[in-house]
Structure 1
Amino acid sequence: MISSYSDLIKATKSEREPQRLLFVFCRAELPDDASTEEKAAFEKGEGGALTPVICVDKTPREVSEFSVLVEESRNTGQSWDVVFVAAMSGRGGTPPSSDEAQQPMTMMVESIRLGNVSNYLPLDTSGNAVSLG
Structure 2
Amino acid sequence: MNITNYQELIEATQLQPEPQRLLFVFAKAELPEGHTIQQKTTFSAGSGGTLMPVLCVDKLPQEVVDFSQLVLESNQTGIVWDVVFISALDGRGGYPPNSDQAQQPLRMMLNQINEGKIGMFITANRNGDLISLNPA
- The TM-score bracket by the shorter chain reads over 0.9
Q: For 1:56-75, what per-residue CA distance to the aligned partner results, in whole angstroms no more than 9, with x for missing partners?
A: 00000111111110001000
Compute the TM-score of the two structures, normalised by the length of structure 1: 0.97
Partner of residue 18, structure 2: 17
Partner of residue 96, structure 2: 95
Return the alpha-carbon distance in structure 2 between the equivalents of residues 32 and 52 of structure 1: 16
Deviates more, 1:110-119 or 1:52-61: 110-119
Shift of 1:44: 1.7
Compute the TM-score of the two structures, normalised by the length of structure 2: 0.95
1:71 aligns with 2:72: yes
Shift of 1:29: 0.2
2:13 partner amino acid: T
2:11 partner amino acid: K
Q: Secondary structure at the residue paired with 1:40?
A: helix
Shift of 1:112: 0.6
2:75 partner amino acid: R
Partner of residue 30, structure 2: 29
Return the alpha-carbon distance in structure 2 between the equivalents of residues 14 and 45 of structure 1: 37
Q: Secondary structure at the residue paired with 2:17?
A: coil
Partner of residue 82, structure 2: 81
Shift of 1:32: 3.5
Give every structure 1 segment of 4 or more consecutive aligned residues whose post-TM-superposition deviation is greater than 6 Å: none
Q: For 1:42-63, what per-residue CA distance to the aligned partner results, in whole angstroms no more than 9, with x for missing partners?
A: 1122111100011000000111
Q: Secondary structure at the residue paired with 1:61?
A: helix
Fraction of identical pairs, as percent: 50
Return the alpha-carbon distance in structure 2 between the equivalents of residues 111 and 100 of structure 1: 18
Matches within 5 A, 1:98-109: 98-109=99-110
- Count of matched residue positions in the alignment of Structure 1 and Structure 2: 133
Return the alpha-carbon distance in structure 2 between the equivalents of residues 70 and 91 of structure 1: 29
1:113 partner amino acid: N
1:107 partner amino acid: M
Uncovered stretches (5+) of structure 1, i.e. residues with no partner: none
Uncovered stretches (5+) of structure 2, i.e. residues with no partner: none
Q: Secondary structure at the residue paired with 1:54?
A: strand
Partner of residue 114, structure 2: 113
Shift of 1:125: 0.7
Shift of 1:7: 1.2
Partner of residue 39, structure 2: 38
